[in-house]
Structure 1
Amino acid sequence: MNLPVVHNKQLLRRELRRRRMAVSRAERGRAALAVLRHASRLLGRGKRIGGYLAAGSELDLEPLMSAALFRGAALFLPRIPLRARRLWFSRVGASDRWVQHPRYHITEYAGPECRAEQLDILFIPLLGIDEAGFRIGQGGGFYDATLAFRRLRPAARPLLVGVAYDCQRVACVPREAWDVRLDALVTESGLYRMTAQGWRRWC
């Protein structure tokens, strides 16, 4: 399923969007439940978990986030600042306020905020992920800015878990100096850990 190496980010994003949009509604539902099964070992009482609200053809993380809350984890959703690109994360359940971002017109949860460094696990949406653990996103640069601290402290929390369909895996994505390697990947086929030899199934 891997795409060949594509050096042009625009072309790669276009192809990955096409592949992701080609996933049928039934396959999307099965994938969301499979991701819950595979990643459930990461959920636990007291853990601070960052998730996301799926947009467009992104893999739906709602079953996993619901399970995290049921198990007693604290769930946080991203909020885009009005200026700059470093994301905040709002704790779900601390309020009942949902707001529309004035610039991007997306729905966000308005609760007490923290930075990514204060989370234990962060599930990250993406367009593509390569065999070395590097992702390609939509191009906004929000996660790049948010995770910049990991370039200086590679072992710092949170655990960075990419969320994708198998069709989004590629051989290699074009890399920039600010790119951060992910620690793990969950798809409909399993949970994988990044090792010195590449992705290995998390046993």
Structure 2
Amino acid sequence: MTENTTVIDKQALRRQVRRARMSLSPQQRAAAMRLVVRHASRFLRRGKRIGAYLAAGSELDLEELISTTLWRGGEVFLPQIPNGSRRLWFSRLGDAARWYNHPRYGIAEYDGPCLRAERLDVLFVPLLAVDAQGYRMGQGGGFYDSTLAFRQRHPQRRPLLVGVAYDCQRVAAVPREAWDVRLDYLVTESGLYRFR
């Protein structure tokens, strides 16, 4: 398969999965969010550093998962995109209203104490598609690939990587690149799936 064919395949797969995800009703989305929290409950423990994300577009919303983590005494860290780099920092969510929009991407970020992904216990990873082997395809920005590159050399290192998706985002195979990192788990409305 040529590089050009891989790009075309990725674009086609992204369109297909986005359409499927966008076709979900508000009721299906709300039900999925509640079920994902139930299935992921084992990870949401007191004293754990949990990396999450703020849903963009039709992504599965983690608002209830974030609330549950905080209620149970865990710490929640949200991604921050640094200027001039693709390697994310994760900012600890606190009580103060310290939200701002990223100047380049316009997405909401929280201004709190930051750490790298390696310091998290669990990282809930957004994705566009995921296959049966645990490989994910993101939006195409490469931020999570760059952030998790250390897992290529040290696959057993923290954090535990848990992909988050609707069932309609599960596919037979995603086009893979040499730098792709496999997830440890996937959580959807139908359950928790382990890859390792």
Q: TM-score band, normalised by the shorter chain?
A: over 0.9
* 1:111 matches 2:120: no
Match of 2:37 in 1: 36
Q: Which runs of 5+ in 1 are unaligned?
A: 1-5, 196-203
Alignment-mate amino acid for residue 148 of structure 1? A
Match of 1:136 in 2: 137
Runs of 4+ in 1 over 2 A off after TM superposition: none
Deviations 1:22-72 (A, max 9, x none): 111100000000001111111110000000000110001111110000000
Q: What is the 5 A alignment of 1:141-156? A: 141-156=142-157
Identical residues among aligned pairs (%): 67
Q: What is the 5 A alignment of 1:84-99? A: 84-93=85-94, 95-99=96-100
Alpha-carbon separation, structure 1, partners of 2:147 and 2:133: 20
Q: Are the equivalent residues in 2 in contact too, given 1:94–1:112 (CA < 8 A)? A: no
Provide the TM-score with structure 1 as the length reference: 0.92
Q: What is the 5 A alignment of 1:51-70? A: 51-70=52-71
The alpha carbon displacement at 1:105 in A equals 0.7
Alpha-carbon separation, structure 2, partners of 1:64 and 1:163: 11
Alpha-carbon separation, structure 2, partners of 1:118 and 1:94: 21
Alignment-mate amino acid for residue 57 of structure 1? S
The alpha carbon displacement at 1:94 in A equals 6.1
Alignment-mate amino acid for residue 142 of structure 1? F
Alpha-carbon separation, structure 2, partners of 1:34 and 1:94: 26
Q: Which runs of 5+ in 2 are unaligned?
A: none
1:72 counterpart SS class? coil
Alpha-carbon separation, structure 2, partners of 1:48 and 1:67: 13
Provide the TM-score with structure 2 as the length reference: 0.95
Alpha-carbon separation, structure 2, partners of 1:18 and 1:115: 33
Looking at secondary structure, tell me which structure has more helix per residue: 2
Alpha-carbon separation, structure 1, partners of 2:64 and 2:178: 34
Q: Are the equivalent residues in 2 in contact too, given 1:183–1:194 (CA < 8 A)? A: yes
The alpha carbon displacement at 1:96 in A equals 2.6
Q: What is the 5 A alignment of 1:71-86? A: 71-86=72-87
